[in-house]
Amino acid sequence: MSEGYRAAVDEAVAVGHRVIGLHASENGAVVRAALLAPDGTVSLETAAAENGRVPSLVDVAPAVAWDEREAADLYGLRFDGHEPLRPLVDHDLDLGRWTVPVRGHDAYQVAVGPIHAGVIESGHFRFHVVGDRILHLDARLFYKHRGLERAAEGRPLAEGLAYAQRACAACAVSNSLAYAHACEDATGLAPPAELARARTVLLELERVWSHLNDVSAICAGVGLAAGSTRFAALTERARRLNEALTGHRFLFGSVQVGGSALVVGAAAAAAARAELTSFEEEARSGLRELRFNASFADRLPGVGVVTAADARALGATGPAARASGLAEDARATDGRFAYAGFVPAVPIAASGDVEARLEQRGLELRQSLALLDDLLAGPLEPCAAEPGGEPGPIGIGRVESPRGATLCIVERSGDRVDRLRLRTGSYANWPVVAHAAAGNLVPDFPLINKSFELCYACADR
């Protein structure tokens, strides 16, 4: 059975599919790999564990290394061919067991976290350095592991939404929509155009505040108060707009399984468009100012480079992948949203460094603001999902969050959640951050980290 699994994955990869996630299910009795087809559809390949062992996929898909390590820690599985299988979620272990051995003349370690110097989430970074030069970075996250996936098991499908939403405030809409789509996929529901439009508005509102916040964070990463303050002010205005439209600054509670209760009147929609137009002008002017600020602009090029080949191999997603030249975006292939004709934006010089990731935020902001201007041309009314597609025991949702594609898989028994898997854009990109840091200077790490601006909360869950 498990040999068929490996052969099926190899065959799919050979014809252009990509492995975009892997999770253990049925209490560790099976492992399911998620395969993304070039047309954007996701399918699952299942392997039954034999004496707790499953063939590893890391040789064909390094992107699922974290998934396998997580399944090993939480479900006690072993992955044949994944050597050494270092712990990921398990803490309280000897340093030697979870770090990569780095030896040589003058090599030493710099330990940072889990508590950081600023207002930052908790996580531990162990830099292996010579002088100020980073040779290797081991990131140990999961300090905020709350066991949300397991806690959702046994809950009614509608209640399970809270576990996806509260995994992360910065990705609340993305995670909720991925969950809602997974549930609707499993129960044979599809969103009509009105529902797709309401949800697309929410998803883009989340991207707007998030990208504004990211630009502010990159400025803070080099200590440019003028830039970080300007974009922090815009972030605040975006949160106020969120509240005006949905009643919550982070859009909490605005997504439901099977429909939408969001009401935005014509006057509110028109006011929101005017505010968004003003964001566009402000952000454009702010970004132009940054480009011509030499002491700022000098810090960005050639720092934290991720080549297109590495981005592909490591499974980078979202702005980080596009800044490396991979013109991929779940919005381009997703029929459940209102993204007809969407073309992913990529910087002209997709150099994969901090500069490209900053430019990428600017490009995407402009796209999102233009999309919202179209989508808010009329009022939003409550609406419900309609029958469409075959019901089944497993549903899949994939949504482009501000930090990349988020995959949600819901396995169900009737109306209850059997297994919830939430693989967020941040989860996919954390190994890429560690890779991008190598070869750079320790003092540049905050800047590199901010140029990805990943969440710890939705990686840890």
Partner 1 sequence: MLTLLRDLRRLRRSLAVPAPDRARSLAVRHVDAGSCNGCEHELTLAAGPHYDLGRFGFGVVASPRHADVLLVTGTVTTRMRGPLLAAYAAMPEPRRVIALGACALGCDLLGLASELVGPVEDVLPVDLRVPGCPPRPEAIAAALVELCDRAG
Residues that bind partner 1 (CB under 8 A): 91, 114-115, 117-122, 142-148, 150-151, 162-163, 166-170, 172, 213, 229, 232-233, 235-236, 239, 249-250, 252, 455-458
Of 142, 150, 182, 141, give the one whose Cα is nearest residue 75: 150
Give the residues across from 24 on adjacent strands: 31
Judge whether 164 and 178 are in contact, CB under 8 Å.
yes
3-state class of 54 per DSSP? strand
Shortest spacing between CB 266 and partner 1, in angstroms: 28
Judge whether 452 and 432 are in contact, CB under 8 Å.
yes
Nearer to partner 1, 239 or 312 (CB): 239
Shortest spacing between CB 168 and partner 1, in angstroms: 6
Pairing of strands 30-36, 42-48: antiparallel
360 alpha carbon, distance to own chain's centre: 16
Shortest spacing between CB 170 and partner 1, in angstroms: 5
Nearer to partner 1, 88 or 305 (CB): 88
Of 391, 399, 397, 401, give the one whose Cα is nearest residue 410: 397
Structure tokens at 65: 């290394």
Shortest spacing between CB 16 and partner 1, in angstroms: 35
d(CA 392, CA 414): 10
Shortest spacing between CB 213 and partner 1, in angstroms: 7
Structure tokens at 406: 């988020």
Residue 155 makes CB contacts below 8 A (sequence gap 6+) with 163, 416, 417
3-state class of 412 per DSSP? strand
Nearer to partner 1, 163 or 342 (CB): 163
Does an H or E element contain 133, and which? strand 133-140
Nearer to partner 1, 79 or 250 (CB): 250
Nearer to partner 1, 250 or 452 (CB): 250
Nearer to partner 1, 113 or 259 (CB): 113
d(CA 68, CA 91): 16
Nearer to partner 1, 142 or 179 (CB): 142
Shortest spacing between CB 99 and partner 1, in angstroms: 17
Shortest spacing between CB 172 and partner 1, in angstroms: 8
